Structure 1
Amino acid sequence: MIEPDSNSADESRAPRDPVSVAARIHRFAAQVVRIYLGRDDEPEPPPDPDPP
């Protein structure tokens, strides 16, 4: 049985670069959007832009 060691977990989790964290979040969000749009049988057409 492996005993959880909070100290080693904290040490292995080094502070990451905020840009890389944002990139990972962006990639995850893009994947979620792709899955959502892929399962949508009939996506609604984009609304026509109103003329100025």
Structure 2
Amino acid sequence: MEMKTGIETFDGVKRLIIVAAHPDDLETLCGGTVVQLVQRGVKVFSVNCT
């Protein structure tokens, strides 16, 4: 089995929930990835646990 890396890891994903501890964690830690996923048509949701 071939291991995928980078944005290819999300091939076929239609929805994604990201759980973060603080409101700005999503933007600070994975904002670039989220932008790429949204551009690919993935619906991204975030849950902040503060």
TM-score by length of 2: 0.27
Structure number having the greater helix percentage: 1
Q: Between Structure 1 and Structure 2, whose CA radius of gyration is higher? A: 1
Pick 1 or 2: higher relative contact order, CA cutoff 8 A, min separation 6. 2
